[in-house]
A = this chain, B = another copy of it.
Amino acid sequence: MGYKYNKEDILNVGYDVFRRNGYHNVGINQILKESGIPKGSFYNFFESKEDFAQQVIEQYGENNRCWMKDYFEECTLSALECLKSFYALMINLNEKDDYSGGCLVNNMSVEVGRQNDVIASEANQHFIGWLNVLASVVSKGQENNEITSEFSALEIAEYLHAGFYGVLSRTKVTRNRVYMDTWFEMTFKLIGA
């Protein structure tokens, strides 16, 4: 079929560009320039900008879910320590962008989640996938008596997830990790058994 350009490569460029610059602030031409493909080829792969963005989220969301799953499966620490090391890693990963890049799916949700049902539901679907991965680890931590059982595993997963997103919003404008570290310390102290 295709012979020169690779859909996945274009999606990866889209991921980078959208995550750093948002959706409406980015034109198709910017994607074309950064991925080095002409417009005709782009519209051969994707129906529209919206369709493209949806597929970007889809690919990233699924890749990230698998990555998380593997991370926790390979982690040899206790469930709670796995979660802590995961979030510590997440915080470190944000250093590259001066803590202002954030998460693509969160950024997209906030920017267009209200007007664009297609992107909103795509985003929500992937959130749910991630939350289930987190919840399974939380659940183990509850069995270990490391994590409070006052709330369900999924509720605690949502709590971790939404809390971290709130922090990402804050660091978008503070542009340093100070509050990320405080959030980390507070959250894991509070959800302890």
Contact = CB atoms under 8 A, between A and B. Distances in A.
- Max chain B C-beta neighbours (<10 A), residue from A162, A165, A179: A162
A28 to B, nearest CB: 14
Contacts of A190: 190-191
Number of copies: 2
> What DSSP secondary structure best describes chain A's contact surface?
helix
A106 B111 CA distance: 10
A25 B111 CA distance: 9
A110 B110 contact: yes
A97 interface: yes
A102 interface: yes
Interface in A140-175: 150-151, 155-156, 158-159, 161-170, 172-175
Interface residues of A, number: 51
B186 A151 contact: yes
A124 B174 contact: yes
Interface in A21-80: 21-25
A167 B169 contact: no
Given A121-B173, A162-B167, A22 B106 contact: no
A127 B174 CA distance: 10
30 contacts: A22-B24, A22-B112, A23-B24, A24-B25, A25-B115, A100-B113, A100-B120, A101-B114, A102-B110, A107-B110, A107-B111, A110-B111, A110-B168, A110-B172, A111-B111, A113-B172, A113-B173, A114-B172, A120-B172, A120-B173, A120-B175, A124-B174, A127-B173, A158-B170, A162-B170, A163-B163, A165-B166, A165-B169, A169-B169, A190-B191
